[in-house]
Structure 1
Amino acid sequence: MAIKSTIYKAELQIANMDRHYYADHQLTIARHPSETDDRMMVRVAAFALFAQERLEFCKGLSDTDEPDLWQKDLTGAIETWIDVGQPDERRIAKASGRANDVIVIAYGGRTSDIWWQGVRSKVERLRNVTVWSLGEGVAASLGSLAERTMRLQCTVQDGAAWLGSSAADPVPIEWSVLKAPAGA
């Protein structure tokens, strides 16, 4: 018998002053049995940073044909594809062909640097791909916020972001841009 995903609930308040996006979201997050709290909370942070009206969690680890998050237009075409972790260059290229914008959020410090050096030459030629690397320790700090029921607040201002809860100090979400889309 397969182990089922664990369900987490989050009330997420977003104040993104850089994009003028202010909204409250009721999220249901399925945490795959092999997923860590760190990875799950990086997915939540990605949702908060890129939130738009139709952004939603996908099957992610449970389905290799879906990202961690995506936004589709009203016809079902994929506008934004967001992967968390260190996908291989074939997955990124496939996503680049299927979506208008692809965002990869790598985390893990030194392992992210090694991963990037391995995929960089192939990914850099893809015009619609953005690659971020979270700062050292950010994923672990985000993971410490994980609870089965969460009340979270995300603030984005002047290119900086924080994710916090009423039970813990806000976690600064620091990143470096490894690749920006062509023309950005």
Structure 2
Amino acid sequence: MALRATVYKAELHVADNDRAYYGSHAVTAARHPSETDERLMVRLLAYALWVEADERLAFTRGLSDTDEPDLWTLDLTGAITQWIEVGLPDERRLLKACGRAGQVIVLAYGRGADLWWSGVQNKVARAANLQVWTLDAEATRTLAALAERNMSLSVNVTDRTAWVSCARGDVSLELRCLREAG
């Protein structure tokens, strides 16, 4: 018998001073049986960092479907306008995503993020619509400790630093840009 996904519900209160975006969102994210709390929380952070007032940004089947990113935004015709990957995807996946979506964003995390980037950087150089951001490994481990099945998170973003707080604690995560979209 296959293991089922675990459902997490989060109330996200976003105050993003860098984008002048402020809003609250009730989100539901399914955690794949092979997914860690750290990855789940980075997905929630990615949602908070790129959500817009129209709330078209959505979680996908992610790990359960290799043809979908972790989050995406679809326009009214069903075309992918924004493709967001969390983790360390290979260059073939990124190039395929860049061909399918208007904007591709990678939020890399973990101890191997810099090594991963040095390995794929030249291979994705021609992808003009690709942005790559990285988070500190220690900060994402601290973020993972905030995970609960039902949670209320406040995410405040200023000068590329996200401050995430909830009843269980808080963490500051610096967003380091490795590549801007060209």
TM-score bracket, shorter-length normalisation: over 0.9
Is the 1:11–1:25 contact (alpha carbons within 8 Å) kept by the matching residues of 2? yes
The answer for unaligned runs of 5 or more in structure 1 is none
Deviation at 1:16, TM superposition (A): 1.1
Deviation at 1:19, TM superposition (A): 1.2
CA distance in 2: counterparts of 1:18 and 1:48, whole angstroms? 12
Deviation at 1:60, TM superposition (A): 0.6
CA distance in 2: counterparts of 1:132 and 1:160, whole angstroms? 12
Q: How does 1:64-83 map to 2 (within 5 A)?
A: 64-83=66-85
Task: Quote the sequence identity (%).
Answer: 54
Amino acid paired to 1:93: L
Q: How does 1:16-35 map to 2 (within 5 A)?
A: 16-35=16-35
- Count of matched residue pairs: 180
Is the 2:135–2:176 contact (alpha carbons within 8 Å) kept by the matching residues of 1? yes
Deviation at 1:124, TM superposition (A): 2.0
2:79 aligned with 1:94? no
CA distance in 1: counterparts of 2:160 and 2:5, whole angstroms? 34
Deviation at 1:167, TM superposition (A): 2.8
- Other-structure match for 2:155: 154
Deviation at 1:175, TM superposition (A): 2.5
Is the 2:107–2:135 contact (alpha carbons within 8 Å) kept by the matching residues of 1? yes
Deviation at 1:39, TM superposition (A): 0.4
Q: How does 1:103-114 map to 2 (within 5 A)?
A: 103-109=105-111, 111-114=112-115
Q: TM-score, normalised by structure 2?
A: 0.95
2:62 aligned with 1:57? no
- Other-structure match for 1:120: 121
CA distance in 2: counterparts of 1:133 and 1:70, whole angstroms? 19
Amino acid paired to 1:178: L
Amino acid paired to 1:41: M
The answer for unaligned runs of 5 or more in structure 2 is none
State the SS of the aligned residue for 1:137.
helix
- Cα-Cα RMSD: 1.0
Amino acid paired to 1:81: W
